[in-house]
Structure formats: structure tokens, C-alpha cells
Structure 1
Amino acid sequence: MRLTIWGAAQQVTGSMHLLQLNNYNILIDCGLDYEKGSYQEQNLFFPFNPTEIDLVILTHAHIDHSGNLPTLIRMGYDGQILCTGPTADLTEILLFDSVNIFLGKQNKKHRGRKRGHSGPQPLYLQKHVMETMDRFVTIGFHKLFKINGTIELTFVPAGHLLGAASVILNINEDGVSKKIAFTGDIGRKNYPVLVDPDPLPAVDYLICESTYGGRLHSNDTSLDDKLVEVINETCIKNPGRLIIPAFSIGRTQSLIFKLNQIFNKGLLPPVEIFVDSPLANYATEIYRKHHQYVSEEAKSFYLDKGDEFEFEHLTYLRTQKESLAVSNYLDPCIIISSAGMLEGGRIQDHIYYNIQNYYCTILFIGYCAKGTLGDRLLRGDPIIRLRNRDLMVYAKITKTDLLSGHGDHNDLMNIVRQQDVAKLKKVFLVHGEASSLTAFKTALQEEGYAVEIPERGISYEL
């Protein structure tokens, strides 16, 4: 059995792992790589023949895990894609959104060029997404699925996102049984709406994400207290507006549920809340559809109080006209919009009209990659450029990591500690920046685990 890490090797994005055994090739995840060059250069070609892949297994819907599946299909893969039900539905809307992003970048970059000049082509189109979705086969958690006579698959809840799974493969190779686990992205305990990550069974080999290796989440306050503090200061004591950039899928739904709880408990007087993201609206419907996958806390709230994602003074904006109308709303309010790093979407309208508003607070609740508009605000740039204008930053900029969807260093350590150090043959660390990988590796080695940080394309015999 041979393992090759073809993506998220010594970086975060582009998860793609190839497992080869007795002429049967399994690809675990097929994500977009955003970290070097343009998306065409990094993702257009695969380092293997897609027609030789027999099966794809998808851990969860985020685009750095699912986003290059249509390219794989377009280049000849004709097998199944196995995942959970929520992952299939969320992946569909994310892939269609990716097509829109590709086309938007193409149009923006080449607007004004002479006719006949071809621009960079999208990785895939809507027809390729539809072809991809036809390949999906959904499997529930803890349901043993026999891939063939020698390979069995089980999905274990990973938290992180609705339907996200760790992959457990039980393989009988040449009369020898081996068990290998791919964690996918590991979530946090007690995260709003989502289940806690389940313990993993004993395995021989573990491929583990490392996003927060060496880093701990804040623990000096609760999420409820932080939100109450910011809302009270911005919208109650002062006649201001609170703008929260949030990823449409996962982060927005958890934030809405938490706000529902806060206002339902009467911790704050009513404040108008606007959710301004078409993609978030679609995703919320998927959360409702797959309600059996949400946390017990969310289920209990539903039975006692009603829909977690619907309450008085909450408005989902549907059209661009409705979105623009919020700019003329004069009373204090909360605006939740995407994209979370401010690199596109309707959030840019709200930033443009409010960045010079002394009574506005922009609360970041997620990671902002270096160089993004969100990153520039967080590092304290006094002037930003948006829509060909230089704008002074008068709004208050603040952040919290209490809604981060990734488990921190201690959570990752606990995942590995579930394994017997004497029986776990090797831990492979992926999906992390160099500093996180090194810190995580050092901590595991101190406890006696055999650890490897794979380079891209290096194969390991298991």
C-alpha cells in the first residue's frame, strides 16, 4: 500500500491524497490550491492520470478539499465520489459558486481588451459541475461501506462543517489487515450548530490536519460574552452598525444560531440583523434539510424555541436592490455578509459605504489570508483602496477567534492521543503552515509518536 500526498503538503490548501493498493487507486479529497500562482497554473493539471483513479472519497465540502473535482471529471475520471449527504449538497452550491468566481475574475481581468483576445479560461463550467454531482454517492456516519472485497470505509463525524467526516479505511492486503485514517479538518467541541468530533478508532496510520498546530484559541471570554460586548458597545450605547464578514457556509449559520440564543435570552434589547449573502441563504436551507446532523444543543433549541436560523428582527436579503437599500437604513443594525476576507461579494458594498463611519465596527470572526483586504484592515492600514478610491479607515476594526471552525493545538493533540503510541506506526502531518507543522510534530514526538511531514509527491510504503 502506497500513500502519496499531492496536496496540502507543507501548506494549508489543495488537499489531495492518493492511496494505491493492488492496482486500485483511491483519491481522498480533490481541493483547489490557492497558495502559489494563479488558479489555472496550480490546478489545471494533475500529477497522475485521472483515468487511473478508481474511487474518490470526500471528507467535506470546503473548496480547498472539493474545489477541483470538476476538473478531475473533465479530464477523464469516471468513478464515484463518496461522502455524507450534507457534504454532497454543500459541495454542489460551492462548486457552482466557484464557476461564478472564475467567470468574474476572467471578465474583470479582461474587461476593455479588444475583441478576439482570449483570456484565462475557467477551470470548469456549470456543465462540468452537473457532471460531477452525478457521481456522488452518499453514506451516513458510522455505516460500514464495502468498497470491494478487500476495502471497507467508515465515515466518523469530524465537526468543523455540517457533514464533515474523518475517513477510516480498513484494508486487507495480501492477507494482512491494515487500518488507515484521514482526519479531514477537525472541528472544535461545543461549536454552535455542529457536533463534536468523534473519537477515532485504533489505526495503523494517521493522516492528520495541522492547521492550528502550536496555536491555542482564546479562552479569556465566552463567545456569548464577546458578541454581547461588541453589540452593546456598537449598537446599544451608540447609534452605530456592526458589520461581520463571514464565510457563507458554516460560519454564518453558527453565528446566526448564537445570535438567536443571545436575543432569545434577553441579554440585549432587539437589534435589526441583516444577512446579506445569497450563498449563505442556500446553505442555511441545506442545514435545515439535514437537521439530523446538527448538534444536540441545536436540536433541543429547535424543539423548545423553533427554527435556529429564523427569529424576530432577522432579515435575509435576497436581491441586490435589497442589499443596497441597507446602506440607507439609519437605525443601529448588524450586517452579516460574505466574503469573510473581503475579497469579493456584497460585503465590499458595506465596507465601501461604512469604512469612514466613526460609528461602525467591523468584527472579523475568521482567518484572513495575507494580502487580502481583510488582512490589511486587521494589520491596521490607515487607508485602503476599494473601487479605485483611497478611503480613510475611521471604522473600528476588531476580531475574535471564538468562531474558528478548526480545533486548536490541544484539540489536535487529543485526536492523536486517542491512538496507542506503541501501535500507531506513523502520523503524517498535512494541511498546515510550516510553523504549525513543526510545532505539532515536536509535541507529538515528545510523547513518543513517529511523525512525518511529507513533501509534495513523495510516496510512502505503508
Structure 2
Amino acid sequence: MKLTIHGAAQQVTGSMHLLEVGQYKILVDCGLDCERDHHVMLNENFPFNPGEIDVVILTHAHIDHSGNLPTLVRMGFNGQILCTPPTADLTEILLLDSVSIFMRKEQTSRKHNRKRPGQGRQPLYLQKHVMDTVDRFITIGFNRPFRINGDIELTFIPVGHLLGAAAAVLTIDDNGTEKTIAFTGDLGRKNYPVLNDPEPLPPVDYLVCESTYGGRYHTKDKTIDETLVEVIDRACVKESGRLIIPAFSIGRTQALVFSLNKIFSKGLLPPIKVFVDSPMASIATGIFRKHHGLLNEDAQDFYHKLGDEFEFENLTYVENLKDSRQVSNYFEPCIIISSAGMLEGGRIQDHLYNNIQNYYCTILFIGYCAKGTLGHRLLRGDPIVHIKDRDLAVYATIKKTDLFSAHGDHDDLVNTVKQQNSQQLKNVFLVHGETVSMQAMADTLEQDGYKVTIAEKGLAYEF
């Protein structure tokens, strides 16, 4: 067997791992490298021939794991894409949204290059390529062994993180010798709203493990409900203002809405109007309802006792742009949940444009903001920010919490590995993390007797 890490090697995005068993080639994930410009053709320069890939295994729907699949198909891949049913549904809407983003960027690029014909950006792929990709999805339930061919069996193990997210466990007959290898994808954390806890992986010989939060720890002194009640009480009750929460449409918005539903149903706060301003969030919530049986026990109990986890009396899903603009004219205390968690596009920019200079507005960040984004500039305390071609002074209150992060922290990651016997586990390949995170995780594991390799991009490992 030969393993080559072609993406997310000492960086977080662009997951893409090639496993070769004899002449058979398996690609695990095919994500966009978001540290490159999506529209520059760097993402289409695969270090292998897409037409030679026999099968793709997709661990979950996030764009840094799925976002380059249409490019792979466009350039010659014609095999199956294996994933769980929720992953197939969520990936489709995320890929279609990527096309919309590409087209908007292309239009902007054309405006800026009117005097230089041919210099505009070209979309990485189009809707046709997305639909061609979706046609290749073959869905497999959790913990149901699936024989890829006579020598290779695949089992998906639930790992939390996102609805449908799975670790891929492969049992391989390699010239008469059985070998096992697992790819964690992204690992979730315990007690996360809506999602089940990650399940332990079976014993394997080799483990390709993410390391996003290596060396970092989540806040543990407060619960999600306590944090939300404290922020909402100050922003919307005591100050009679508005609370804006940027949140990714898929996963985080559903966790946040369910948490708010529980808070209001318990009477922990007076009724406050909540707007979810994201068409994609509405579609994604429908997918969560479709796969309701995969939600955690807390969500199931709530449903049986009080009804839909994602609906309550003061909640409004804002469907069209006209209604979104009307939200700005709602002058009572309210909570606005809007898409684009890093504030780099979408309707959230309109809400910020209208409220960043409002002393009675609070902006609560519940996710990671990459360097260079508007969200990052607000979090570091910039007094003036640039929004929609204007420089605006920041008078709104800026807050953050990491409790809605769906990634396991250092302890969660290490404990996942430690479920494996250090004598049987021949090697742990660390991926999907910055170098400092990988090194922190490697140091901890090596102290406990595990052999660890910090994966290098393009380097082949044979075993």
C-alpha cells in the first residue's frame, strides 16, 4: 500500500489523500485549498491523473473536504463517490453555493479588467459539473461494511462535527495480508448541540488523523446555554438592543437555533424576536429534519416533548432579499443570525453595514475567523473597518465564544488516538492542521509511545 498526502499537509484546508492498493487508487476527500485563490486554476492542477482514480471516499460535506470534486469530475474522474446520505445532501447545496460565489467573483473580476480583455477570473466549475458530481454519489449508512472490491471493505464511523460526518475505516487484503487504515476526516466534540458524540474507532494498523486544534483547548467553565443567556440578556434585555450572530449556514446555525429554542422554552429569557437570514440555512435545516433519526438524544427528546427543534414562536426564517432588508427596519430588540461566519460576503455584510456604528448593537462571533477577513479585523479590535466601499467606525460591542466550534480540541484529538493500542497502531499520520498544532499533538502522542508522522505534502509513504 502507498499513501500520499496531497492536501491539508501542515495547513487546514484542501484535504486530499491518495491511497494506492496495488493498481487500485482511492482518493479520500477532494477539498478546495482555501489558502489559494479559488478561481485561480491552482486548484485544478491535480498531482495525479483524475481519470486514473477508481473511487472517491468523502468524509463530510465541508468545502475544504468536498469543494474540488466537480473539478475532479470535469477533468476526467468517472468513478463512484462514497459517502453517507446526509453528506450527499449537504454537499450538493454547498457545491451549488460555491458556483454562485465563483460567478459573483467572475463578474467582479470582469469589472476590474474591462481594459484588459481575457484577464478576468474564470469559474473553477459550473452548475453542470456539480450535477455531474452529484450523480456519482453512492450513499452508505453508518457502521455498515461496504465492499468496494474483492480486496477492500469500507465502514463509515460517526465522528460528530457535522451531520453525516464520518471516519472512513478500510480493511484491505494486501497480497494475502490484512491491513487496516482509518481516515478520521474532521473529529467532533462531545455534548455538541444536535449532533451525536464521536464513536470510538475500531483497532487499526494506520491512522490518518486531523490535528486542527492540536495544542488548543475549548472553554470549559461555561455551557453554551449559560453563555447565550448572558450575552442576550445584556444585549437585548438590559440594553434593549440587537444581537447579530454571524454563523455558517450548515451545522452551526442549526446548533444555535436549537440552543435558543431550549433557552426560550425553559423561560430563561423573555420572548425576543429571532431572524435567521440565510436561504441556505433554511435548506440545510430541511436536510437536518430529513435525517432526524441521526440527531442526538437531547434533540430527539426535545422533539418528542415540545416539537420541532428548529422552530419556535418568535423565530422567522428570512427567505428573500426584500425581507432581509426589512429586518433592518425592525427596531425592537432582536437577534439576527446570518450567514458567512467570517463576514466575507452574503447578507451578513448588509447587517454589519447598517449596525457597526450602533452603540446598542452587539456582534457575537461563534466560529473561527481566518486572518485577513473582516471578522478577524473586528476580533482584533480595529477601530475602523472597510465594509461595502466605506470606512466605518466600530461602535458596536464585539464578543466571541468558542463553544460552538464543532472541532474536537487537543484532548479530544489525543483521546481518539489513545483509543488505539500503541503496540498495534504502527503509525499516526497527522494532517489538517497548522505545523504548530501538528507538533503539539505529536509531542503528546510520542510521550505515550505512539509513532507519529507529521505528513508532508506530496510525499509517499509505503507500508
TM-score normalised by structure 1 residue count? 0.99
**Could you tell me how far 1:42 is from its partner in structure 2?**
2.8
- State the distance in 1 between where 2:229 and 2:354 align: 25
**Could you tell me how far 1:273 is from its partner in structure 2?**
0.1
- State the distance in 1 between where 2:302 and 2:37 align: 45
Q: In the alignment, what sits opposite 1:154?
A: 155
Give identity over the alignment, percent: 67
Residue 299 (structure 2) pairs with residue 298 (structure 1)? yes
**Could you tell me how far 1:459 is from its partner in structure 2?**
0.2
Q: In the alignment, what sits opposite 2:401?
A: 400
Give the secondary-structure state (helix, strand or coil) at the position aligned to 1:273: strand
- Which aligned pairs between 1:23-34 and structure 2 lie closer than 5 A? 23-34=23-34
Residue 144 (structure 2) pairs with residue 109 (structure 1)? no
Q: In the alignment, what sits opposite 1:278?
A: 279
- State the distance in 2 between where 1:195 and 1:115 align: 54
Once the two structures are superposed, residues 121-163 of structure 1 have per-residue CA deviations (whole angstroms, 9 ceiling, x without a partner) of 1110000000000000000000010111110000000100000
Q: In the alignment, what sits opposite 1:420?
A: 421
- Which aligned pairs between 1:290-369 and structure 2 lie closer than 5 A? 290-369=291-370
- Which aligned pairs between 1:30-41 and structure 2 lie closer than 5 A? 30-37=30-37, 39-41=39-41
Q: Mark the runs of 5 or more structure 2 residues left unpaired by the alignment.
A: none
Give the secondary-structure state (helix, strand or coil) at the position aligned to 1:281: helix
Q: In the alignment, what sits opposite 1:79?
A: 79
- State the distance in 2 between where 1:288 and 1:68 align: 27
Give the secondary-structure state (helix, strand or coil) at the position aligned to 1:202: coil
Q: In the alignment, what sits opposite 1:383?
A: 384
- Which aligned pairs between 1:158-237 and structure 2 lie closer than 5 A? 158-237=159-238
Q: In the alignment, what sits opposite 1:374?
A: 375
- State the distance in 2 between where 1:42 and 1:370 align: 21
Kindly provide the amino acid, as one letter, of the partner of residue 8 in structure 1: A
Kindly provide the amino acid, as one letter, of the partner of residue 267 in structure 1: L
- State the distance in 1 between where 2:210 and 2:172 align: 22
Q: In the alignment, what sits opposite 2:92?
A: 92
RMSD across aligned positions (CA):
1.0
What is the number of residues matched between the two proteins?
A: 462
- State the distance in 2 between where 1:268 and 1:287 align: 26
**Could you tell me how far 1:34 is from its partner in structure 2?**
1.0
**Could you tell me how far 1:456 is from its partner in structure 2?**
0.5
**Could you tell me how far 1:233 is from its partner in structure 2?**
0.1
- State the distance in 2 between where 1:120 and 1:337 align: 28
Q: Mark the runs of 5 or more structure 1 residues left unpaired by the alignment.
A: none
Stretches (4+) displaced over 6 A? none
Q: In the alignment, what sits opposite 2:50?
A: 50
Q: In the alignment, what sits opposite 2:138?
A: 137
Once the two structures are superposed, residues 202-253 of structure 1 have per-residue CA deviations (whole angstroms, 9 ceiling, x without a partner) of 0000000000000000011111110000000000111100000000000000
- State the distance in 1 between where 2:449 and 2:418 align: 10
Give the secondary-structure state (helix, strand or coil) at the position aligned to 1:195: coil
- State the distance in 2 between where 1:19 and 1:39 align: 27
Kindly provide the amino acid, as one letter, of the partner of residue 99 in structure 2: V
Give the secondary-structure state (helix, strand or coil) at the position aligned to 1:279: helix
- State the distance in 2 between where 1:198 and 1:42 align: 36
Q: In the alignment, what sits opposite 1:18?
A: 18
Q: In the alignment, is the contact (CA less than 8 A) between 1:33 and 1:39 conserved in 2?
A: no
Once the two structures are superposed, residues 46-97 of structure 1 have per-residue CA deviations (whole angstroms, 9 ceiling, x without a partner) of 0000010000000000000000000000000000000000000000000000
Give the secondary-structure state (helix, strand or coil) at the position aligned to 2:40: helix
